[in-house]
C-alpha cells in the first residue's frame, strides 16, 4: 500500500535499556557512544534516559491507517 508522504516509516521501537541497574563501567561505555565524559553514576543514568527519550519520541498513531478492522 502507498506510504503516506511526510510521515516517517514504521520501525521497531526498542524498549529503553535498564540503565538504573547498570554498573558504572557499562554506563560509562554507553555514554561514551554519545561523546559524554564519565559523570557521577546517578547523573549518568539520568543523562542516558534523557538521550533515549529524546531519540525515541513516538508519533501518535493516527486513525487513518492504524485502526485495523
Partner 1 sequence: MASSAPAPAPRLGRKRPLPACANPLFVRWLQEWRDEAAGQGRRARFVYQKALRSLLRYPLPLRSGKEAKILQHFGDTLCRMLDQRLEQHLASGGGKPVSELP
Binding residues for partner 1 (CB under 8 A): 7-14, 32-37, 39, 47, 50-51, 54-59, 61
> Do the beta carbons of residue 38 and residue 44 sit within 8 Å?
yes
CB of 23 to partner 1, least distance (A): 14
CB of 5 to partner 1, least distance (A): 13
Cα 52 from chain centroid (whole Å): 3
> Do the beta carbons of residue 22 and residue 5 sit within 8 Å?
no
CB of 8 to partner 1, least distance (A): 5
Amino acid at each position: 500500500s502507498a506510504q503516506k508522504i511526510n510521515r516517517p516509516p514504521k520501525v521497531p521501537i526498542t524498549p529503553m535499556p535498564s540503565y538504573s541497574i547498570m554498573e558504572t563501567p557499562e554506563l560509562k561505555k554507553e555514554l561514551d557512544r554519545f561523546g559524554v565524559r564519565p559523570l557521577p553514576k546517578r547523573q549518568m543514568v539520568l543523562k542516558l534516559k534523557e538521550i533515549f527519550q529524546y531519540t525515541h519520541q513516538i508519533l501518535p498513531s493516527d486513525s487513518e491507517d492504524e485502526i485495523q478492522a
